C-alpha cells in the first residue's frame, strides 16, 4: 500500500505490532456484546490499557470507560478520542476461526475494529508520549440505538475529563481502502421515532355514518404525511419519513375507536429535523380533524444529526492526508441516512467524525450484514490516524 511508504516514522512502529492488533480484534470479534451488556468487552479493554500502564476510569455510562495518557509536557490542553464497543443482536454467518461465540450476537458494524484501532493508538502513545497535554481514550457502550454516548455525557464525561475537542471514526465499506472521507458539516442523519393514536368513534361497519372512522382518517394521515417530504422539503435536502406500523380493529365488521400508527423520520440538517416534527404534528392533527377524529402524538427523539465542526474537519483532513496523500481524502461526499450517537458528543464539544475506507461495498462486506467482518488491513492505518491527530492537536512546543 502506498500509505505504508508515506509516513514510515509512525506507521512503521505501529506496523511492528500490527499482528498483535489483529489478535486483539479477533478476540473482541469472538465476544460480541450489545447495548450496555459490554461487561466482558469493558474488562478486556481495561486489561489491555492497564497492561500498557494507562490509568483507567470505569463505569461511566454503565459499561463505558476512559483511559488517560499524559504527554511529556502539560500546558492544560486535552482531547478525547472515541470508539464504540457494542455489537448487534444478530447471528454471524461467517465461518472464520474467530467467529462470534455468542448466539444471536455479532460485531457486524466493525466496532471490534474501532476499539482495536484506539487501543493501538493508546499503546503507541503511552510508550511515546511525544505530545503536550492529555489524551482521553473514550470507549463508549450502546452506540446501536442505546445512546451510550449520551449516557457517558450524563455521567459527567466532559466534567470529569476536561477536554477541548472530541474525535470519532467509523469504517466505511464503499470507500476504497487507504482513503478517508471528511465532511465539513453534517455527515449522518437524525433518527426519530413516533407513535400516532388517531381517536374517532367506533361502530358497526355496515353503518359508517354513525361513527367517526379513524381508519379512513389514518389512511389520509399516511398519505398527507408523505407530502411533508415531497412538497415541503427541498429536494436537495435529504429527509425520509416512513410509516411502518398500523393497528386498528380486530374484527371484519367493527369500525374501531382508535387506530395506532408508528413510524420514523430522518434528516441531515437539524433545522429540517425540527421542521419535520412540527409538520407531522400539524398535518396529522388537521387531517384527522377533517374526519372528526383527534390525534395524540408520542414523539421519541432519537439521535440528532452528526454534525462536524468545520475547523476540526479541516484538521482531520490535513492529518489523514499526511498518511495517505491529499488525493485519497474525499471531502464532503453525500451524507449517510444512517445515524450515529457520536452526534451527542459533537453537540457538546467541537470535533470531527471521519470515515475510514474499508473497501468495496459488496456482498458480505456491508455494515450490519451477517457476512460482515472488519477489514484488518485498516488497523495500523486507523491507529496511525489517531496518533498523528494527537501529535498535531497536542504538538509539543519545541521553542
Decide: 181 and 324 in contact? Cβ < 8 Å: no
| Minimum distance, C-beta of residue 376 to Zn ion, in the bound complex (Å) | 17
Cβ-based nearer residue to Zn ion, 109 or 335: 109
**Cα separations (Å) of 206 from 209, 210, 249, 259?**
9, 10, 14, 19
Beta partners for residue 203, in sequence order: 255
How many residues are present in the chain? 399
Cβ-based nearer residue to Zn ion, 341 or 393: 341
378 part of the interface to Zn ion, by CB under 5 A: no
| Minimum distance, C-beta of residue 108 to Zn ion, in the bound complex (Å) | 7
| Minimum distance, C-beta of residue 145 to Zn ion, in the bound complex (Å) | 9
Beta partners for residue 167, in sequence order: 81, 352
DSSP character for 138? E
Task: Name the nearest CA neighbour of 123 among 232, 10, 285, 279.
Answer: 10
339 part of the interface to Zn ion, by CB under 5 A: no
d(CA 196, CA 199): 10
Cβ-based nearer residue to Zn ion, 188 or 268: 188
| Minimum distance, C-beta of residue 210 to Zn ion, in the bound complex (Å) | 50
**Rounded (10°) CA dihedral 262, 267, 273, 275:** -90
Cβ-based nearer residue to Zn ion, 106 or 157: 106
Cβ-based nearer residue to Zn ion, 109 or 175: 109
Cβ-based nearer residue to Zn ion, 188 or 394: 188
How many residues in the shown chain lie near Zn ion by CB under 5 A? 1
Question: Closest CB to Zn ion belongs to which residue?
Answer: 109
| Minimum distance, C-beta of residue 88 to Zn ion, in the bound complex (Å) | 7
d(CA 322, CA 281): 49
Phi-psi region of 332 (alpha: psi -120 to 50; beta: other; left: phi over 0): left
Task: Name the nearest CA neighbour of 237 among 272, 209, 208.
Answer: 272
Decide: 121 and 387 in contact? Cβ < 8 Å: yes
Task: Name the nearest CA neighbour of 381 among 348, 355, 399.
Answer: 355
**Cα separations (Å) of 385 from 10, 253, 336?**
9, 64, 22
Cβ-based nearer residue to Zn ion, 144 or 388: 144
d(CA 186, CA 184): 7
| Minimum distance, C-beta of residue 144 to Zn ion, in the bound complex (Å) | 5
| Minimum distance, C-beta of residue 143 to Zn ion, in the bound complex (Å) | 6
188 part of the interface to Zn ion, by CB under 5 A: no
| Minimum distance, C-beta of residue 111 to Zn ion, in the bound complex (Å) | 6
Using the structure block, give the residue that is written with the C-alpha cell 471514526: 169
293 part of the interface to Zn ion, by CB under 5 A: no
Q: Is the Cα dihedral 307, 309, 315, 321 positive or negative?
A: positive
268 part of the interface to Zn ion, by CB under 5 A: no
45 part of the interface to Zn ion, by CB under 5 A: no
394 part of the interface to Zn ion, by CB under 5 A: no
Instruction: For the chain, report the end-to-end CA distance as a whole number of angstroms.
Output: 36
Binding string, residues 81-120; x marks residues near Zn ion by CB under 5 A: ----------------------------x-----------
Cβ-based nearer residue to Zn ion, 135 or 356: 356
Cβ-based nearer residue to Zn ion, 71 or 113: 113
| Minimum distance, C-beta of residue 112 to Zn ion, in the bound complex (Å) | 10
**What residues line the site for Zn ion (CB under 5 A)?**
109
Amino acid at each position: 500500500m502506498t500509505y505504508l511508504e508515506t509516513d514510515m516514522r509512525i506507521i512503521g512502529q505501529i506496523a511492528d505490532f500490527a499482528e498483535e492488533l489483529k489478535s486483539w480484534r479477533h478476540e473482541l470479534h469472538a465476544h460480541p456484546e450489545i447495548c450496555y451488556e459490554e461487561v466482558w468487552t469493558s474488562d478486556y479493554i481495561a486489561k489491555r490499557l492497564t497492561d500498557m500502564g494507562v490509568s483507567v476510569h470505569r463505569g461511566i455510562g454503565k459499561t463505558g470507560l476512559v483511559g488517560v495518557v499524559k504527554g511529556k509536557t502539560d500546558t492544560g490542553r486535552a482531547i478525547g478520542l472515541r470508539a464504540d464497543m457494542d455489537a448487534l443482536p444478530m447471528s454471524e454467518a461467517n465461518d472464520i476461526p474467530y467467529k462470534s461465540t455468542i448466539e444471536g450476537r455479532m460485531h457486524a458494524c466493525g466496532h471490534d475494529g474501532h476499539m482495536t484501532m484506539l487501543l493501538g493508538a493508546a499503546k503507541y502513545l503511552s510508550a511515546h508520549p511525544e505530545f503536550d497535554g492529555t489524551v482521553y481514550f473514550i470507549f463508549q457502550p450502546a452506540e446501536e440505538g442505546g445512546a451510550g454516548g449520551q449516557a457517558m455525557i450524563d455521567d459527567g464525561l466532559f466534567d470529569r475529563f476536561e477536554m477541548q475537542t472530541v474525535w470519532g471514526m467509523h469504517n466505511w465499506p464503499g470507500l476504497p481502502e487507504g482513503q478517508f472521507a471528511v465532511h465539513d458539516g453534517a455527515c449522518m442523519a437524525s433518527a426519530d421515532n413516533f407513535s400516532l393514536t388517531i381517536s374517532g368513534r367506533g361502530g358497526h361497519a355496515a353503518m359508517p355514518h354513525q361513527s367517526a372512522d379513524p381508519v379512513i382518517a389514518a389512511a389520509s394521515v399516511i398519505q398527507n404525511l408523505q407530502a411533508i417530504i415531497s412538497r415541503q422539503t427541498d429536494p436537495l435536502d435529504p429527509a425520509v419519513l416512513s410509516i411502518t406500523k398500523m393497528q386498528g380493529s380486530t374484527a371484519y365488521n367493527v369500525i374501531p375507536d382508535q387506530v395506532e400508527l408508528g413510524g420514523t423520520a430522518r434528516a441531515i440538517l437539524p433545522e429540517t429535523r425540527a421542521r419535520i416534527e412540527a409538520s407531522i404534528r400539524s398535518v396529522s392533527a388537521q387531517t384527522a380533524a377533517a374526519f372528526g377524529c383527534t390525534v395524540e402524538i408520542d414523539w421519541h427523539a432519537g439521535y440528532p444529526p452528526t454534525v462536524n465542526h468545520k475547523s476540526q474537519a479541516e484538521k482531520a483532513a490535513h492529518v489523514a492526508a499526511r498518511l495517505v496523500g491529499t488525493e485519497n481524502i474525499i471531502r464532503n461526499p453525500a451524507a449517510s441516512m444512517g445515524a450515529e450517537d457520536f452526534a451527542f458528543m459533537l453537540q457538546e464539544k467541537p470535533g470531527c467524525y471521519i470515515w475510514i475506507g474499508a473497501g468495496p461495498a459488496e456482498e458480505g462486506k456491508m455494515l450490519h450484514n451477517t457476512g460482515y467482518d472488519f477489514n484488518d488491513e485498516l488497523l495500523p492505518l486507523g491507529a496511525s490516524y489517531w496518533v498523528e491527530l494527537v501529535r498535531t492537536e497536542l504538538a509539543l512546543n519545541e521553542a
